[in-house]
Amino acid sequence: MVERFVGKTVVVTGASSGVGAAVARLFGAEGARVVLAARTAGALEAVAKEIGADAVAIPTDVSDPDQIRALVEGAVRATGAIHVLVNNAGYNHRGPVAQAVPTELARIVDVNLRGPILLTRAALPILLQQSRASIVNVASIAGQIPLPEEATYSATKFGLRGFSMALAEELRGSPVRVSLVSPGPIETGFITRDLDHVPDLVFSQPMSSAEEVARAVVQCAVDGQLERTIPRLSGMLATAGYLVPELPRLLRPLLEQQGRRAKERFRKAHETS
């Protein structure tokens, strides 16, 4: 593997498992000094140990502004700089809005949108000091087309996508490039732990692996492409649905039927594995 990030510091949130851990491992393999952030200290430290001596674990709740400041200060203290910031931490609580607990809705907003905005703001002065730096935000196809029964999650990903695109324009001409990766469903605990509550519609789209998403994140840090949507076909369908709102409504019964079958196959495969 070509080590494209030797001597660079990469901060990754939500790095204790799933996509975040895969992103941290891949940047580590690329020669980066990786600063891993997540709430679960034990799991976070295990991933850092796996990556090696150039990995630093800083337990962080990105919904807490004080912990966000401490993360940036700790990263600079440990490595001397920040060259890449990956806002990957995510949270969801599925179900109809009318039945949702208000504190759960607030946490979705805090982790998925408020946290990345505040962390970006805290890291920007350091990023702007570099000759070249990147911010990569992990959004979702749910941020391209509304997802019923995940309305607040979808709203936060729409918001993160809008923030990323606006910030990319704001920082045009500076050393900092802004990208986002918008995956469809990913085969991680984010879905498998809450399978019964994941809408059938989600399973109508092909499932990506955490490693596939991680590769897209690293490539964005390399070339600064504004957005990568995976799978690409799902992104094209989402764009069509966004431009023609009647289309998803017309296709939804068929997609839900297809998703229901795929969900059962997925459940059986995981029960026997």
Q: Record the tokens describing residue 168, joined without a space.
A: 């990319």
Task: Say which DSSP state 112 is in.
Answer: I
Confidence category of residue 225, pLDDT binned at 50, 70, 90: very high
- Domain 9-272: give its CATH architecture: 3-Layer(aba) Sandwich (3.40)
Model confidence pLDDT, tens digit, residues 77-91: 999 999 999 999 999
pLDDT at position 176: 98
Sign of CA dihedral 84, 143, 108, 197: negative
| Cα 150 off chain centre by | 16
Model confidence pLDDT, tens digit, residues 145-172: 888 888 999 999 999 999 999 999 999 9
Is 153 marked active-site?
yes
The residue from 5, 27, 153, 158 that is catalytic is 153
